[in-house]
Amino acid sequence: MPPPYAAGPHAPAPYGTGFHAPASYNTASHNASHNAAYSAAPPQAPAEHTAAAQGVPRTRGGHPEQYEAGGGWGGAPVPAPPRGGPRRRGGPAPAPAGPRIPGQRAETAGGPADPYASVTDWPDDAPAQTPADAPGDGGREDRGPGAEEPGSPAKGGRGGKGRTLTGIAAAAVTTVLAVVVAGQVAEDRRGGTGTTTSDRDRADEEAPASRSDERQPPSPAAAPPEPPIYETLMAARFSIDPKMKGDGKFEAVPGFDQAPGKGRKVRYRVDIEKGLGMDGKLFADAVQRTLNDNRSWAHNGAMTFERISSGEPRFVITLASPMTTHAWCAKSGLDTSVDNVSCDAAFSDRVVLNAYRWARGSDTYGPGAMHAYRQMLINHEVGHRLGHGHVNCATKGALAPVMQQQTKSLKIGGIQCRPNPWPHPGS
């Protein structure tokens, strides 16, 4: 049974001196370890006075005798009275309230005493202290019921270091879990659904291994439509007022088309009336292709035609509105208002093609033969410029001569002929 206490664990000592009981120390090696710990930890104030237990020998001055194993004052060690609770390892005890009275320094044979040995910790590999090794001050918590018995091996193994590593590992795990949960919550808020990562993984596992068969290949981007080819445009009809009147001003179609043959070269220019709304480039291409076709006036290398947009041409092929056409043809004594036709204005350099006929064709050819009609229109009027007059069909059912007025009729003198756009159709 532990000896009785005077008046609690921290009752004042019955003597009136201002000194503490000297702290007990271990061997020199133990002092060295405590001194190393002291250099890293701040000093702690000495503990308050405690009452000496009954039956503990006292020295002169009323202080209790204390013994250390193997040195100090010699003699057999006296077990220290148990305190109220278990000894706390790993750090200094909390300082009690109230003023602190400095204790007496004691020196041992091993060297100067360490006043802070009671608040430093043992190294991890040090053996458990016995009651004789434990300091006698009140800096550590007192032993209580169920505390370790003196001399029993210390529990906890490596002590503070193990607890520190365990705490770091627990903090790391907590941090990782917090980051994962926060990421899932943020993803759910963005997506607006309650699907978690595990749900998506499960869905991926249940889905077929390959979904390529279910997916349709992306359709290739639609290529831009190609511009209409020459033949398509030449076969199309255009809308125009049969009594349209332009401003009578012309402009040359820009560009140059070199003569492709080796015959006599005939240079010409292509003009189009401003505000007509017709495709001048298509008109110029049609003239150049038609005149240099071997079925046309360039037959067998008789001549070759070259289009220019500046300089001095031999003639100017002009596309004009119906009213402008009538005005220019009238200058040469020709009335084109009847049947709304074209002419070679012989008293000028212009071969005038009526835009109405160019756009709409004629009943003799019909809407399905616009390309052939336009070729006939070019060849007929240029033929006049080249010196050819009108010629009528002489054989029933034969091809009409290109210089016949095919726009007006294919039946002349009771002889019905077939439409024909070329001067040399059999070539």
115-142, pLDDT tens digit by residue?
A: 555 544 555 444 444 444 444 444 444 4
Q: Which of 24-28, 56-60, 169-173, 373-377 has the highest mean pLDDT?
A: 373-377
Percent of the chain past pLDDT 90, that is, above it, reads: 46
173 pLDDT tier (thresholds 50, 70, 90):
confident
Q: How many residues in total does the chain contain?
A: 427
Lowest mean pLDDT among 64-78, 277-291, 338-352, 368-382: 64-78
Collapse the DSSP code of 426 into the 3-class scheme (helix H, G, I; strand E, B; otherwise coil) and give the result: coil
On whether the CB atoms of residues 248 and 324 are closer than 8 A, the answer is yes
d(CA 8, CA 103): 20
Mean pLDDT, rounded, of the chain: 73
What lies within 8 Å, CB to CB, of 416 at 6+ separation is: 393, 396, 397, 410
What pLDDT is attached to residue 187? 57
What value does the mean pLDDT take over residues 377-385?
98
Compute the distance between CA of residue 223 and CA of residue 229 in angstroms, rounded to an integer: 16
Query: What does the pLDDT read at residue 228?
Result: 81
The token pair at 49 is: 């006075």
Structural domains in the chain, CATH included, are 1-155 (no CATH), 231-389 (3.40.390)
Would you call 405 exposed, middle or buried from its count of C-beta atoms within 10 A (0-12, 13-18, 19+)?
Answer: middle
Quote the tokens at residue 188.
Answer: 């759910």
- Among 366, 384, 275, 265, CA closest to 319: 275
48 pLDDT higher than 60: no
Contact 230, 374 (CB under 8 A): no
pLDDT, mean of residues 166-195:
67
**3-state DSSP percent of the chain in helix, strand and coil, to 5:** 30, 10, 60
- Report the C-alpha gap between 352 and 137 in whole angstroms: 132
The answer to whether 356 and 340 are in contact (CB under 8 A) is yes
Q: Is the pLDDT of residue 50 over 60?
A: no
Query: Position 405: which residue type?
Result: Q
pLDDT of amino acid 253:
98
Tell which residue, 231, 244, 307, has the closest CA to residue 278: 244
> Does 26 have pLDDT greater than 80?
no
Output the CA–CA distances (angstroms, integers) from residue 113 to 35, 67, 371, 384, in the order listed: 10, 15, 126, 140
pLDDT at 157: 46
Q: CA angle, 62 as apex, 1 and 118 as ends, to 5°?
A: 65
Intra-chain end-to-end CA distance of the chain, in Å: 143
pTM to 2 decimals? 0.51
Q: Which residue has the tokens 């365990």?
A: 166
Residue 60 DSSP symbol: G
Question: What mean pLDDT comes out for the span 251-276?
Answer: 96
Q: Which residue has the higher pLDDT, 391 or 108?
A: 391
Q: Which amino acid is at 108?
A: T
| Interval 359-375 mean pLDDT | 98
Please list, in sequence order, all residues whose beta carbon lies within 8 angstroms of the beta carbon of residue 214, skipping any fewer than 6 positions away: none
Could you tell me the pLDDT band of residue 245, with boundaries at 50, 70 and 90? Answer: very high
How is residue 309 written in tokens?
Answer: 């947009």
Closest residue by Cα to residue 393 from 365, 420, 362, 425:
420
